[in-house]
Structures are given as structure tokens and as C-alpha cells.
Amino acid sequence: MIKFLDLHKINQPFETQFQQKFKEFLDKGWYILGNEVKSFEINFASYCETQYCIGVGNGLDALVLILKAYIQLGKIQKGDEVIIPANTYIATILAVLEADLVPVLVEPKLETYTIDSNLIEERITAKTKAILPVHLYGQLAAMDEIAVLAKQYNLLVIEDAAQSHGARANYKMPITNYPKAYSFYPGKNLGALGDAGAITTDDSELAEVLYELRNYGSKRKYENERIGVNSRLDELQAAFLNIKLPFLDQENEARRVIAKRYLGEIKNSKIILPDWDKTNKHVFHQFVIRTENRDELAQYLKENGIETMIHYPIPPHQQKALKNWNQLSFPISEKIHREIISLPINSSLTEEEIAVIIKVLNVY
């Protein structure tokens, strides 16, 4: 069986360093917000070419905390609207709701799966205060167009970068100076060995509030200036991420190499391949194809020893948890969620496995 994602194989090259770092961690006896977190925050900020990195518990918390920080700074008020793509993972919507804001869903482009910037303007109202684009599956949204709209309507922009670690526009970072929310869930291109997340920003005022909010609203121990939460990047996960960070570009490039093979060698009229301009705007967190008979294709691949995943089977507006949106219609999102299937794509795949996947798809 060709696994969709073999985390043990991906992390195996680092095991000796992990074990050594774990021993150091035990010997130090400092388990919360220690030098490993500080080191990772410095290293990841440097990698992202930004001023600040705030380590938090996970990617969802990263989004929530940015929104809550803007509320604390008076730049958003509870009940304001935030524009987000209709086909995102539900975490993006949950973050907006958790901050007592109103998500406004906008259809994506069918070709890229990212928010259609041409449809944003018509959804802007007097209550709109922010746009929250999602770099879904590792591909950057149309940030140039979004930046123009944000400036024209005086809107904040918050980037959901949970799946796009290391994505660059024109081979440079940062693409924008907007705050970005990252997840280091184990399956990400830069994955921890548990839950972990971070926020990057160039805004010193925002960063100061975020450092406090993640730690009970406290700047100094036992002095609480804000209503905060407990969402701190775990010291041990930070240590593991520090080990893996220098290899992130290598992982991303390995995925792009596989993507080039898939795009160049999969020849089947029943399969629609993803759109990619061949630049570093895409880091291929997932390689997502579409087909009208998705369940049939998934079963066929399983029978031929190839594991796949569906990211994601149910569009957010049709989830039971979001009953207020169940009556809405988003035809493009619904089509995407009905037809997509993700193929294996990561550095643990062998040349032989890639060739098998291509061959099996071509005779489907």
C-alpha cells in the first residue's frame, strides 16, 4: 500500500536529534515558554522575513487571537463582518465565530480553489472590517488584488497560512506584511509532533497584544492586563520545529518536483488537474485533483494499493454545526467538495511509488 502520508518515514531522519533534544529538555526542567520557544520564534520570523513571531497552541488559536487582538486594539468591533472563502476548512469560520464576528462567505475560483478576488467587492458592506484569505492546499490566494481592495475600502487583511509554509511570490518573502496564522499540525509541510501554531507580523502594537493574549492576558507574571487565554507554543514542540525548520524549503521543493511529474505525466480526460503557474506561490501541502465520480476513483485507487484523502468532503455551509448557513447556496464550493480527491505528495514517496500512482491513474 502506498500511504497517503507516512509521518514516521518523514520524521525518521530527525529521530536522533529529537531524542537528544528531548533529553536536553528533561535535563533543563523548563517546560513552558523557555529558550526553545524563543529560539523558534526568532528563527521562524527570520525565515518568513518578518519582525515578530508569536508561538501559540495551534493554527485555529492563531486566527482567533489575531482577530481578538484587533478587537482589543479597537480596529474591529464584535458583530463586524469578515470576508472568507466558502470552501475553506471549517477552522477559518470557527475562528471568526469564536471572536464574535460574522463570517461572510465568498466563492473560490474553480481553477485554484482560493477565494475569487473578483467576487469580494460585491460582498463588502458598511459592517465589513476584514478580509481573511486562505492559502488553501499550499497555493497563495490572489494577494495583489486583495491588497488593492483592502486599501480601497480601508479593510484589515489576515492571512490563513496554515497550509502554505514557505510559499513565496516571485521567489521572495514576505508576499505582504499582513499578519499570518500558521499551523504546525503533524501533517503540514513543517509539522510538529503534536499541535502547534504561530502568528507572524511586522506590527509591533499587534505583536505586543498577542504575546499577552496567548498567556492569560499577562505581560508580567500574575499581572493580567487583558482577558487572555492559555495558548502557548509547547516548549518541546518548538524544539522539534527548530530541528525541522532548516529543511522546510527542501520539503517544499520535493513536493513541487512530484507535482511537476503529476501535471506532466497524468493523461486522463476523466481527471482535472490543479492549476499552477510553476512558481513558488504553491508549496503543495496537498495535490488535489477533481473527477465527476470521486468515490469510484477513490475505491479504484484503494484497490490498486494507493491511499488517498478528501480535503474536504462537506462544504462548511452544509455542516450541521453551521445551521445558520445551511440554507445558502455556493455552487462552485459544492462542486469542489463533491469532486476533489487528494493524491499522495510528500518527500517520503519514492520514484517507484510516484510512477505507480501515475500509471494507475492513466488507465482509470
- Given a contact cutoff of 8 angstroms between Cβ atoms, the answer to whether 57 and 196 are in contact is yes
pLDDT(171) > 60: no
Q: Give the confidence band of 343 by pLDDT, cuts at 50, 70, 90.
A: very high
pLDDT at 219: 87
Q: CA-to-CA distance for 252 and 307, rounded, in angstroms?
A: 21
The domain containing residue 316 runs over which residues? 247-362
Q: CA-to-CA distance for 30 and 87, rounded, in angstroms?
A: 41
Quick one: 99 and 140 in the same domain?
Answer: yes
Quick one: 278 and 234 in the same domain?
Answer: no
For 293, the 3-state DSSP assignment is: coil
- Given a contact cutoff of 8 angstroms between Cβ atoms, the answer to whether 87 and 315 are in contact is yes
Quick one: 272 and 288 in the same domain?
Answer: yes
- Given a contact cutoff of 8 angstroms between Cβ atoms, the answer to whether 102 and 127 are in contact is yes
pLDDT at 31: 95
Quick one: 257 and 229 in the same domain?
Answer: no
Q: CA-to-CA distance for 353 and 4, rounded, in angstroms?
A: 11
Residue where a domain terminates, one of 228, 246, 264: 246
Quick one: 226 and 282 in the same domain?
Answer: no
Quick one: 86 and 205 in the same domain?
Answer: yes
In b/e form, how buried is each residue of 4-43, taking b as 16+ CB within 10 angstroms? Answer: bbeeeebbeeeeeebeebeeebeeeeeeebbebbeebbeb
Look up the CATH number of the domain holding residue 218.
3.40.640.10
pLDDT at 177: 84
pLDDT at 174: 55
Closest CA to 286 of 347, 345, 338, 358: 345
Residue where a domain terminates, one of 222, 246, 270: 246
Quick one: 80 and 183 in the same domain?
Answer: yes
Residue where a domain terminates, one of 187, 213, 246: 246
Quick one: 187 and 234 in the same domain?
Answer: yes
Q: Give the confidence band of 173 by pLDDT, cuts at 50, 70, 90.
A: low
Please report, as a single letter, which amino acid is at residue 323. K
Other C-beta atoms closer than 10 Å to the C-beta of 283 total 27
Which distant-in-sequence residues (6+ apart) come within 8 Å of 271 by Cβ?
A: 289, 290, 291, 297, 361, 364
Look up the CATH number of the domain holding residue 321.
3.90.1150.10
Quick one: 281 and 315 in the same domain?
Answer: yes
Q: CA-to-CA distance for 220 and 169, rounded, in angstroms?
A: 39
Quick one: 187 and 58 in the same domain?
Answer: yes
Q: Give the confidence band of 287 by pLDDT, cuts at 50, 70, 90.
A: very high
pLDDT over 70 for what percent of the chain? Answer: 98
Average pLDDT, the chain: 96
Strand stretches in 28-170, DSSP E: 52-56, 81-85, 102-106, 128-131, 156-157, 159-160
Number of domains in the chain: 2
pLDDT at 169: 76
Residue 1 is assigned to a structural domain of this protein? no
pLDDT(30) > 90: yes
Residue 357 is assigned to a structural domain of this protein? yes
**Chain segment 105-123, per-residue pLDDT in tens:** 999 999 999 999 999 999 9
Q: Give the confidence band of 175 by pLDDT, cuts at 50, 70, 90.
A: low
Q: Give the confidence band of 220 by pLDDT, cuts at 50, 70, 90.
A: confident
Q: CA-to-CA distance for 198 and 364, rounded, in angstroms?
A: 41
- Given a contact cutoff of 8 angstroms between Cβ atoms, the answer to whether 288 and 276 are in contact is no
Q: Helices 90-98 & 59-72, crossing angle to 10 degrees?
A: 30
Quick one: 257 and 307 in the same domain?
Answer: yes
CA distances from 313 to 77, 88, 272, 338 (A): 33, 11, 17, 7
Quick one: 252 and 170 in the same domain?
Answer: no
pLDDT at 238: 98
